[in-house]
């Protein structure tokens, strides 16, 4: 199994979720994060104090998938999240050793 | 549209405005000039303060809570700047053009550049021989002008260019708010109605709708319909928000929205009961109506949602309160308590339809339902005022300032016609002015809308360089 | 319980209520009917507006900030709907049953369905020959009824079924608020006290506790004890929140709670000083007491926490303010400044114990400490009013409306007995009515409580289909 | 510094304070004692309520929104406790030392421990023969004392020890607020000016700056400069926040800041227009000026930011509003509408510089810009009052209470000198007292500052054992 | 070492934390997340606008444990977080290559 | 490639971000988290209710780096985040199998 971690633009969340569903991914876990990378941040000014905000809001998606879904899921995410502008984000793939469904105790592929 | 000859009945009116005494009827001043009653003065100033409170922070919070957090400050900023701008314009020329003697559509220049606005100047009320400090009246009416213009911004929130809001406001304030206020509320004051001939002359010198006998106690047409139509035109011209209809655009903070609604309500006591201009039984009547009509509207909206959708919502209750307040505004001093309950209940249901069924029909992204609440509620209220003002239905009827008593024959039918005329004139006038004003604003400010990526990122950061929240 | 014969002393009272003039003493009206002073009218209306402000948004924010964010809207919704419902019921029958002449427990039907509530109707004050517009008095008292019922919802917050709140409110309002208000505040007004015989008759026609001489300037019994007991009964009957005692239930937004407390305070000036019904020195006294008593209570609570727990908290200071306000409510117009400082300080400490030591004893999940603050503070205030109203302690004493002067012999001991009677009657009456009302509400609405999983998920989503916050 | 002989002109003053009638001029009372007008009483009490509203929650929210969320409650707590403490001290001795007859710097003991503060006591106004209930005046001035002391806490927010705030407040209130209020506002009241000799005596008995003819309608020196200087001294002595200058210290909730600013504004109508002490044309003038000056300041600040930084910010607009309010405070009842617009516009620009250019020069971490806004705005306002009070510029001029008319020759130059004297005396007095008070507070409370790790973790948890927000 | 990632119901956090402590896990890191899976979301209505909210609030726990604690930790979490209703969540196990305690520079098992 | 996960004190974020930039790490993703470990929490008191808050606010940084940057990045984080007091946090290193840049489809080292 793989744990796919994707960093995407917040407004793309719904599209990506749907794409993953269609691709057969049974569930995802989503976190609001801030990203730092090539995409420029912005400047904020509060009276005399100017702050450069380097971080941009991003959404982090975590999806555990059986090995056979890895490529399909990556493609689905890429297709749905792409805007072709700097800051579209990344996909990271980690090896997932075990998975457990808490409710039933099922493990590994059955747990997803 | 045939406009019946209302002239003879206009002399009987009691409405929510006062003429400037000085300059209008100098001979009146020559004789023993009345001095303001301190209770009236205290009342008028307090009412003014709480009407100001309605816009800042009331309307700001009510609207701000409904947008996404990335646009919170843009809404507040628009409310603040529209307020400041209009108050200054009001000082420079607005008050003069709205509330001094001129023609049927615009006032004159007697108060241009604040000329003559001294602590000694007094303004008429609705009672003969009773005056209030004109500066108090000036401020009270300033607060009305400010909130009316600020109401509009809810319709095109979350995507309009900030500079466009300012340009639009200057134009629309000047060419719609000021003349409609003059048309509906300007009259020479009660002391001019010494006998039939003088009354006829005074009536002839009144505003276009006032002289036709339109009843608008505190601004159903001038404030609510006027602003709502402008907002709707704006929503059409500015276009829908990116993602409207398929992305969730949930209110970011309904606690603020409820706080704003409650502040609006409290301020509305000043708005409606203050429009009596005196601290008397009429003010108390308007006050009570402003209390119970929204209560009935809350119950109506809640019931409607509960039966229709399965769950009654807090946003629904808050919206119902505002709907009831809008509905009772033109009627507050003219109807009895039973009438107020009825108007509130009907306005609650009508506005619930306004933000659901009607909204789907209109196909505009009126983001914060300015038309659905203020337009629908304003029209319903304006018409029902004509019904429930009838003495037979517990209303006050129409006062005959020549005979110094309530006029005897009140016809609901013909009053409804007058009220409808008032609504129609306001809708058309405001619509046309708003259309032109938005077009001009778009030309002058490089387009009404911000670029798409700025809209995505949010106006707070892109238009104002700041964020509302940091944790 | 033996109730001593207070009848002869009752003619000496000055309390926070006024009778309806019209209908009660028609012969008085026949002679030169007094007209309201505009300063009084302005004062009464403004006070009413800010008392309304207390509930919406004041109480809503004060309570709402204390619950978990998932229940924020449910608290606001309950406050709004209770307010709307009670205001409408007040119009339909509440006012009539509370403030017109009837028996010792309930009033009559003179004002049923808003009959006779016109701009011309006047109500008595505490000064002979001084009246205010009855509509103003109607609205002022409406605001009291509304906030009293809304206060209760804090006790069973975060788990009650919404429909049950509404049913309970209708019942409890009708059978506890209305009669207690009548018992404590109804009297025929000062003008009835023309001589000893007339005074005795007027006293006999007064409410059950009023005629016994109970002093309650602005609602220590009628509002605070009344609501607090109902809340406590509710907390017992509805049961503890899931996880109470082992899961953290931290306030979700103390900034809102503080804002709510401050709004309550500001409105309380209207509540207490407005209860003088006139803009006079007595109002100024009540005003000052409403300023300094909570200040003393804040210092007391803060000191108590600092010494007892090591750190003084903002929530403690805000709670202290409310404690002081509750404590001074029955006393505001009767005690001097020194008495106000003393009452505030004692109420602050007592309520700190109310939300800690006493709360552990009561073993009820009174979620927002309605009893700990309003119950304890109300009882302490009611009793101390009997002490510090004594002229020897700087109080105003009791006014003799027959002799037209302050009565000479004030006995702290016997007044304390009267005050205790008032407290006891209120506690028992409200407790019994609340018990029955909750039971009935439970029967009619499928149980007082929402299902466990709805409670877990939060009432905002499950009962109202919306979320307070979105980021 | 040479102080010219202003004595002869001082008899001409009209300023924002009233003397205590009782005890001062008993012979006046002997003759037909005037009774308060109920309109005035209503006005004064309402104004007092909304001035209280300014501090709680107004200032609390305005300041609180600007700090980081971990320090939110500490700011609110400081505002609440400073308020409570000062109100109690005001009752015990502050009012007596500020507003009864004494020497040029301190008042006397006539009202010590609230002696004589009964519902029957009256206080003078600025009109001969017009009085208000002294308790109302007491409360009005209490609210001023409270907010002045609370204003200071913004300067050293986010790092000061809570106990140090309290100790400092007691000292500074006693030795700076009270005497400055006495110096600027104490006079024997208009009725003392029966003829030239009596007028001279009355002038001689007035406060140090009052007798020199300093104009301060509602507290430019007493409130704003006074507090701002104390804050600046505090910011220096307490030192900069950890990370100041390289870590981002973004406001955590600008919606609250805007709400606070709006509440301040509404309360400011009570502050300025209430300072007329009567509900008359002068109050209406002050009211209108309090409306339009901040509007001009908002436009100025927004324009300045837009042109200077590229984007106009909501925080800028809110700050502009406060700047305009501060600027118009000393002038509110003395200048015409044109003058108010000018003062507002100039104050807006000046304070924008105050929080940017000047701030860099001062090199202090005045966290919430107390000096940049209240100091700069207060000084600009105090000086411009001397300019625009001139009748030739639309001002009211100076009233001659002996001649009972406006004095004829108004010299802008010499009035500017007087105003400058007032500013200088306030700056030096407050600076010296604040310095000593902070040093003492530091000694008595184990250092002015919390330890570094507590500052890092935030004062809410470490000083008060609670968190503002939980989700 | 293993990095155990568990997605649980928010109100179970305290129970799970205690269970892990007792199981000998020295520390955890917790994130508020939103989950999408079999558990149904809800519908929200704001005036005329109806939104289906598919995401439910969840808590994500991250615990680095020595290899020998893996099974014990999984059992502890499962026992504490289980309600037997849909939405109880998942446990994911990843191989952890290195761990460092920033304060001391200790590494691997010593760092936990 | 490695996925480096660091838990640090919130006020150290800017320092760590700069240190990583200088070390050649091209981007990071940041999450606000709460940590439980040796560092003591605090007690909060709301009227009669006392709560022990065991969790302390932390920042979680996630940085995908090429293998050769692993040690450099760990050192950079350690140096920047250290205060020598309990609670400085941890660094966890996971093996990263794949990385994709959504915008371009570039993979692995090129995607970082
Ligand atoms: N090396 C990295 N490790 C972890 N997250 C990264 C890394 N580089 C980028 N990110 C995340 O991806 C987001 C987008 O990266 P960015 O460089 O701005 O644009 P792009 O992916 O289009 O080149 C960043 O905001 C950050 O959240
Ligand atoms: N494949 C997955 N990858 C990552 N997270 C998942 C996955 N499936 C489920 N989750 C997380 O687990 C939570 C519970 O899953 P759900 O399917 O609703 O219930 P259950 O685990 O009881 O079958 C989801 O809300 C989501 O956060
Ligand atoms: N075993 C672990 N798994 C995951 N996170 C941990 C673990 N131990 C500690 N942490 C995280 O590291 C933070 C610091 O740990 P702590 O034990 O308090 O201090 P130190 O790292 O200085 O020994 C914790 O707050 C928690 O977020």
Contact B180, B99 (CB under 8 A): no
Residue carrying structure tokens 């309970």: C168
Contact D180, D426 (CB under 8 A): yes
Q: Considering only CA atoms, which residue is closest to atom 7 of ligand 3?
A: E27
Q: Poorest-confidence range of B460-469, C343-352, D18-27, D36-45?
A: D18-27
> How far, in Å, is the centroid of ligand 3 from the Cα of E99?
11
Residue C471, pLDDT score: 75
Q: For residue F51, what are its two tokens?
A: 């709560």
User: Average pLDDT for residues B405-426, to the nearest whole number?
Assistant: 96
Question: What digits encode the pLDDT tens for the residues D149-174?
Answer: 999 999 999 999 999 999 999 999 99
Q: Is pLDDT at B19 greater than 80 in this prediction?
A: no
What is the torsion angle, in degrees rounded to the nearest 10, for the CA atoms of residue C189, residue C190, residue C196 and residue C199? 10
Residue B31, pLDDT score: 53
Q: How many CB atoms lie within 10 A of CB B336?
A: 24
Question: What digits encode the pLDDT tens for the residues B90-131?
Answer: 999 999 999 999 999 999 999 999 999 999 999 999 999 999
Residue D31, pLDDT score: 53
Pocket of ligand 1 (CB under 6 A): A 7, 35-39, 56, 58, 86-90; F 26-29, 62-64, 101, 103, 112
Give phi and psi for B403, each to the nearest 5.
-80, -10
What span, in angstroms and rounded, lies between the C-alpha atoms of D340 and D329?
Answer: 10
Percent of chain C at pLDDT exceeding 90: 92
DSSP H helices, C310-411, are 314-328, 337-354, 357-362, 370, 376-388
Q: Which atom of ligand 3 is nearest to the CA of F36?
A: 25
Strand extents, DSSP E, B119-259: 122-124, 131-133
What is the nearest CA distance from F49 to chain A, expressed in angstroms? Answer: 31
Contacting E residues, span 43-62, partner chain C, CB-CB under 8 Å: 43-46
Chain B residues within an 8 Å CB radius of C40: 39
Please tell me what DSSP assigns to residue D253.
B
Tell me the Cα Rg of chain E.
Answer: 17
Residue D33, pLDDT score: 82
Q: For residue B335, what are its two tokens?
A: 């109807």
Cα C230 from chain centre: 13
Q: Does E105 touch chain B (CB under 8 A)?
A: no
C30 falls in which pLDDT band (50, 70, 90)?
very low
Per-state percent for chain E, helix, strand, coil, to nearest 5? 30, 40, 30
Q: Is A31 in the pocket of ligand 2 (CB under 6 A)?
A: no
Q: Is pLDDT at C390 greater than 60 in this prediction?
A: yes
List beta partners, residue A33.
Answer: A58
Residue carrying structure tokens 């109804």: C186
Mean pLDDT of chain D: 93
What span, in angstroms and rounded, lies between the C-alpha atoms of E77 and B324?
Answer: 53
D32 falls in which pLDDT band (50, 70, 90)?
low
Q: Which of F27, F62, F92 to mutate to test the pocket of ligand 1 (most atoms within 8 A of CB)?
A: F27
Question: What digits encode the pLDDT tens for the residues B151-166?
Answer: 999 999 999 999 999 9
Q: For residue C75, what are its two tokens?
A: 């608290």
Pairing of strands B131-133, B122-124: antiparallel
Question: What digits encode the pLDDT tens for the residues C439-449?
Answer: 999 999 999 99
User: Average pLDDT for residues B433-449, to the nearest whole number?
Assistant: 97
Mean pLDDT of chain E: 97
Percent of chain E at pLDDT exceeding 90: 97
Mean pLDDT of chain C: 93
Instruction: For Cα atoms D450, D451, D453, give the angle at the middle one, nearest 5 degrees.
Output: 120
Q: Is pLDDT at D84 greater than 80 in this prediction?
A: yes
Residue C180, pLDDT score: 98
Interface probe for F, chosen from A90, A91, A95, A97 (most Cβ of F below 10 Å), is: A90
Q: Which residue from C minimizes the CA distance to E49?
A: C466
What is the three-class DSSP state of D357? helix
H or E element: which one contains A33? strand A28-36
**Yes or no, beta carbons of F64 and A92 under 8 Å apart:** yes
What span, in angstroms and rounded, lies between the C-alpha atoms of C44 and C136?
Answer: 6
Question: What digits encode the pLDDT tens for the residues D328-346?
Answer: 999 999 999 999 999 999 9
Contact C25, C191 (CB under 8 A): yes
Residue B11, pLDDT score: 38
What span, in angstroms and rounded, lies between the C-alpha atoms of B428 and B71?
Answer: 31
What span, in angstroms and rounded, lies between the C-alpha atoms of D420 and D379?
Answer: 8
Residues in B lying within 8 Å of A, measured between beta carbons: 243, 247, 456-457, 461-462, 465-467
User: Average pLDDT for residues C422-447, to the nearest whole number?
Assistant: 98
Question: What digits encode the pLDDT tens for the residues C304-336?
Answer: 999 999 999 999 999 999 999 999 999 999 999
Ligand at shortest distance from the CA of F99: 1
Residue B414, pLDDT score: 97
Mean pLDDT of chain B: 93
Q: Which residue from C minimizes the CA distance to F51?
A: C248
Percent of chain B at pLDDT exceeding 90: 92
Contact D84, C299 (CB under 8 A): yes
What span, in angstroms and rounded, lies between the C-alpha atoms of A73 and A8?
Answer: 14
Question: What digits encode the pLDDT tens for the residues C53-86?
Answer: 999 999 999 999 999 999 999 999 999 999 999 9
Q: How many CB atoms lie within 10 A of CB D289?
A: 31
User: Average pLDDT for residues B52-69, to the nearest whole number?
Assistant: 98
Task: Report ipTM (2 d.p.).
Answer: 0.96
> How far, in Å, is the centroid of ligand 1 from the Cα of E95?
23
Sort residue D85 into left (φ over 0), alpha (ψ -120 to 50) or beta: alpha
Distances B276 to B186, B405, E13 between C-alpha atoms, Å: 15, 17, 59
Residue C32, pLDDT score: 66
Residue carrying structure tokens 């407050």: D430
């Amino acid at each position: 199994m793989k744990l796919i971690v994707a960093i995407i633009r917040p407004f793309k969340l719904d599209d990506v979720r749907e794409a993953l569903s269609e691709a057969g991914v049974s569930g995802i876990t989503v976190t609001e994060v801030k990203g730092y990378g090539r995409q420029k941040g912005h400047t904020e000014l509060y009276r005399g104090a100017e702050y450069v905000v380097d971080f941009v809001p991003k959404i982090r998606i975590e999806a555990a998938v059986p090995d056979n879904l890895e490529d399909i899921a990556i493609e689905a995410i890429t297709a749905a999240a792409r805007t072709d502008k700097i800051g579209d984000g990344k996909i990271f793939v980690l090896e997932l050793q075990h998975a457990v469904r808490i409710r039933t105790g099922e493990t590994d592929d059955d747990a997803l | 549209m045939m406009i019946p000859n209302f002239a003879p009945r206009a002399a009987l009116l009691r409405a929510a405005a006062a003429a400037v005494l000085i300059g209008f009827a100098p001979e009146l001043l020559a004789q023993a000039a009345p001095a303001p009653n301190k209770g009236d003065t205290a009342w008028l100033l307090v009412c003014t303060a709480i009407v100001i409170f309605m816009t800042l922070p009331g309307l700001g919070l009510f609207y701000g809570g409904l947008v996404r957090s990335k646009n919170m400050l843009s809404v507040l900023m628009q409310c603040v700047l529209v307020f400041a701008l209009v108050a200054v314009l009001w000082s420079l020329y607005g008050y003069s053009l709205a509330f001094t003697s001129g023609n049927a559509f615009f006032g004159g220049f007697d108060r241009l550049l604040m000329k003559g606005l001294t602590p000694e100047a007094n303004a008429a009320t609705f009672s003969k021989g009773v005056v209030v400090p004109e500066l108090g009246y000036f401020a009270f009416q300033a607060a009305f002008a400010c909130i009316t213009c600020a109401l509009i911004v809810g319709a095109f929130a979350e995507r309009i260019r900030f500079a466009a809001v300012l340009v639009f406001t200057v134009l629309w304030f000047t060419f719609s708010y000021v003349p409609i206020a003059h048309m509906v509320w300007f009259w020479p004051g009660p002391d001019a109605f010494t006998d039939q001939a003088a009354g006829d002359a005074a009536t002839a010198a009144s505003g276009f709708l006032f002289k036709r006998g339109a009843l608008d106690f505190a601004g159903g047409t001038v404030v609510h319909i006027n602003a709502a139509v402008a907002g709707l035109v704006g929503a059409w011209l500015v276009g829908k928000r990116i993602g409207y209809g398929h992305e969730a655009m949930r209110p970011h903070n309904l606690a603020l929205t409820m706080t704003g609604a409650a502040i609006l309500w409290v301020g509305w006591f000043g708005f409606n009961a203050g429009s009596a201009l005196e601290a008397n039984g009429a003010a108390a009547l308007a006050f009570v109506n402003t209390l119970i009509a929204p209560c009935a509207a809350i119950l109506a909206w809640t019931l409607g949602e509960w039966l229709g959708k399965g769950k009654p919502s807090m946003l629904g209750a808050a919206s119902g309160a505002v709907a009831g307040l809008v509905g009772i505004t033109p009627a507050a001093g003219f109807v009895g308590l039973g009438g107020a309950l009825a108007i509130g209940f009907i306005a609650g249901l009508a506005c619930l339809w306004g933000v659901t069924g009607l909204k789907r029909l209109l196909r505009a992204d009126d983001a914060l339902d300015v038309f659905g609440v203020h337009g629908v509620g304003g029209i319903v209220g304006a018409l029902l005022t004509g019904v429930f003002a009838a003495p037979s239905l517990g209303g006050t009827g129409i006062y005959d300032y020549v005979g110094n008593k309530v006029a005897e024959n009140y016809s609901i039918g013909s009053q409804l016609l007058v009220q409808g005329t008032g609504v129609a004139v306001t809708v058309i006038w405001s619509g046309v002015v708003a259309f032109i004003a938005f077009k001009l604003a778009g030309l002058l400010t490089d387009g009404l809308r911000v670029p798409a990526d700025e809209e995505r990122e949010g106006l707070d950061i892109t238009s104002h360089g700041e964020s509302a929240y940091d944790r």
